[in-house]
Structure 1
Amino acid sequence: MNNFIFYSPTEFVFGKETELQTGTLVKKYRGSKALIVYGGGSVIRSGLLDRVKKSLDEAHIAHIELGGVQPNPTDPKVYEGIELGRRENVDFLLPVGGGSVIDTAKAIAAGIPYQGDFWDFFTGKAIPQTALRLGVVLTIPAAGSEGSGNSVITKADGLKKLSLRTPEVLRPAFAVMNPEVTYTLPAWQTASGITDMMAHIMERYFTNTPDTEVTDRLCEGTLKAIIKEARTVIKEPYNYGARANIMWAGTVAHNGICGTGREEDWASHFMEHEMSALYDVTHGAGLAVIFPAWLTYMADHNVGKIAQFAERVWDVPASADLKAVALEGIARFKTFLHEIGMPTTFGELGIEHPDIGLLVAHLHENKGEQIGSYVRLDRQASREIYEIANR
């Protein structure tokens, strides 16, 4: 096991009607004027936005709004938020939504006090030293951004989708999590979120770091819980217990606890980022295509942990033929993805003729000549994985 620091100071306020505590929480964390960030009309139609604003009013917290954040968020909305926040002298960011909304708010929070271009943080030209505080009202369990210091934004000019990881600066002060607000999520969005959180665990699980049994079991147990509850929530969308477990799993998957003491991979996420940047696909659905292909490639190149995944998560009987065990586990994983309505090939995702050459070129231009750590992937390896996903 490697040395590690686990830092997770976010206050999670979980359960029914917890959005009514938002104003009190903003005041607790010294906010006096909040910029509410949200996406489409669902938070308006459901009444959630009104409940949040009423809570702010009752706590005497001034607030302004920035709506219209789109899935796979891009930089123009961040620039708009930075300009608005500076003009209105806000001191707190309050995203009400899922990962795209939260990631946009994080970029705004880092950009407002910065004298340069916020994109410097995403290209590595600068590291955020300070940011406005933010709290989250979560509506979509998926990205885990409510409990992480990460943000992913696409540069509209050139379609560069890059990530920023600064847990000391951009972890939310609090996350309000009411599973009831997820009841009306479309099945596709629910399943995409489930796939995303599973991928967040697997990016950490597949490691060459030895002696990580406790973290392995945390990963495996959380994955098995997600699989169980996913089957329930797809059939019974108003099942509070299933919705609650799925919502909490999304946080556990990405707040860092599943990666303690080990080297992480993240090649599959990098490969999917190029897909969603180029084709604007739903992130979780793109991961449903890429991860089985990545696993299939790894069955030939570093089979050990793939076989363990098959045995411990998918209940494949142990065998001396590790590759056969691994492939059976991958097959069961794909069956599960289909069961919850996810694609597992480019064609099923609606991309009949993907430009694999362009995907590979952008991937390695943006992320380096080699990516990942479980097996280091060069251009030929990443091309092979994209081709497996296209079969």
Structure 2
Amino acid sequence: MEDFKFKSATKIIFGKGAEDTVGEHVAKHSRKVLIHYGGEYLKEFGILDRVIQSLEKSGVEYVVLDGVVPNPRLSLVYKGIKICKEENIDFVLAIGGGSSIDSSKAIALGTKYDGDVWDFYCGKASPKSALKVGTILTIPGSGSEMSESSIITNEKGNLKFGIDCELIVPEFSILNPEMCYTIPPYLMSCGIADILSHLFERYFTTTKSSILSDHLLEGAMKALLEVAPNIKKEPKNYDYCSEIMWLATVSHNGMLDAGRTSDWGSHRIEHEISALYDITHGAGMAIVFPAWMKYVKNENIDRFVQLATRVFGVKCENDKQLVANKGIACLEDFFKSLGLNTTLTEAGVPVDKFEEMAQKAVGDSEYVGRFKRIGKNDIVEILKLSV
């Protein structure tokens, strides 16, 4: 196990009707907030009205900014920053999934900065302060409700960059599994794929000994594989929704990769796909991860054998390659059972810009990823395996 620092700063309020208490939680930090969200379902199901009622009851003023879309846009972030500065807002309340939360975090950073908030995402500057952020999670998957991460798409150049910063870890996150009842089946499937991708990024490590984390990650994967088909059959089962929502949060709050390196090469590749073609992130990860696995498995075949046998139940055989390949095939079958595509062709994504995507993925670096350092040519080959 490697040296690490771990801090869990987010207060989790988990349970039925938890969003009705948001006013009292916000009031501890602010008297005027920006409510930031996307999706008419929040109005359709009365979620926005309940949030506003709770804020008003606690004497909290608010300004509303909607319009968040998957792969949240920098242009909307700029709009939110302008509102916060003009209205003297000191807290951002995100309602939604990862896109709303990431956009809110970007607004929180930009409001306290005199320059262009994009400076933080492209590495030109480091944030020194930020507004505080709270979240009401409605779509599990990204884990942004308890993480220090934010990923934003800049429409100019189709660039999708992220930042990790302790300043934007949410003060609190409200998780009501009943919110999952409003999620279309396809988006739930994308969320499940996103959760699994976060577990994989941590699982594929170069750390020699991290036994506890291995078992925690494998346990989370097995729980997800068990619950996923059940929630497809019973999308309004509170217990299943609870498991998915908490799995999403735990998979990305930093606890499961404490003391070990994580990879993140696959995420860099997918970001270029969704930046160019605007597909949902989880759907992109269902395409990229099997291809990445096929390309890098010989870097540490034993790790793939361990995944196949411990998580997917592949019987141990003398041929490690066969066992590893069966594990990858099980993963592809799982994604297909969720109604997700596992190739770019099936997803209708053009396959003529691999060189461009690979160059953007590595940027100014020579490689991405840690499990296996992959450069531009490697990424092109991985993308070819995903066709």
TM-score by shorter chain over 0.5: yes
Q: Deviations over 1:356-380 (max 9, x none)?
A: 2222122222x62211010110122
**Other-structure match for 1:347:** 345
Query: After superposition, where does 1:90-101 map in structure 2 within 5 Å?
Result: 90-101=89-100
Q: Does 1:381 align with 2:378?
A: yes
Q: Is the CA contact 1:302–1:375 (under 8 Å) kept in the aligned structure 2?
A: no
Shift of residue 355, structure 1, vs aligned partner: 2.2
Residue number in structure 2 paired with 1:174: 172
Q: Separation in 1 of the partners of 2:179 and 2:27?
A: 23
Identity among equivalent positions (%) equals: 42
Deviates more, 1:190-199 or 1:318-327: 318-327
Paired letter, 2:139: I
Displacement of 1:99 in angstroms is 0.4
Partner of 2:38: 39
Q: Which amino acid aligns with 1:117?
A: D
Structure 2 partner of 1:258:
256
CA deviation digits over 1:167-199, x for unaligned, max 9?
x21100000011111112111100000000110
Please report the TM-score for the alignment, with normalisation by the length of structure 1. 0.97
In structure 1, the partner of 2:213 is 215
CA contact (8 A) 2:36 2:66 kept: yes
Residue 319 of structure 1 deviates from its aligned partner by: 2.7
The 2-side partners of 1:137 and 1:264 are apart by 28
1:346 touches 1:354 (CA, 8 Å); kept in 2? no
Q: What's 1:237 paired with? A: 235
Check whether the contact 1:206–1:265 (CA below 8 A) recurs between aligned residues: yes
- Once residues 387 and 353 of structure 1 are traced to their aligned partners in structure 2, the CA distance between those partners, rounded to angstroms, is 8
Shift of 1:130: 1.2
Q: Could you tell me which amino acid in structure 2 is paired with residue 158 of structure 1? A: G
Measured against aligned partners, the alpha-carbon deviations of 1:37-77 in whole angstroms (never above 9, x if no partner) come to 00021111110000000000000001010000111011100
Deviation at 1:304, TM superposition (A): 1.9
Q: How many residue pairs end up in the alignment?
A: 387
Query: Which residue of structure 1 lines up, in the alignment, with residue 304 of structure 2?
Result: 306
C-alpha separation in 2, matches of 1:77 and 1:115 = 17
Normalised by the length of structure 2, the TM-score is 0.98
Show the counterpart of 1:11.
Answer: 11
Q: CA deviation at 1:262?
A: 0.7
TM-aligned CA deviation for residue 140 of structure 1: 0.3
SS in 1 for 2:35: strand
Query: In structure 1, how many angstroms separate the alpha carbons of the residues matched to 2:156 and 2:24?
Result: 40
Q: Please provide the CA RMSD for this pair.
A: 1.0
Deviating above 3 A after TM superposition, structure 1's stretches of 4 or more consecutive aligned residues are: none
What is the CA distance between 1:302 and its match in structure 2?
2.6
3-state secondary structure, aligned to 2:93: strand
Indicate if the aligned counterparts of 2:41 and 2:182 stay in contact, CA closer than 8 A: no
Stretches of structure 2 lacking an aligned partner (at least 5 in a row): none
Contact 1:184/1:237 (CA < 8 Å) preserved in 2? no
1:329 matches 2:302: no
**Bigger shift: 320-329 or 212-221?**
320-329
* 3-state DSSP of counterpart to 2:346: helix
Residues 1:20 and 2:20 aligned together:
yes
Shift of 1:289: 0.2
- Which range moved further: 72-81 or 345-354? 345-354
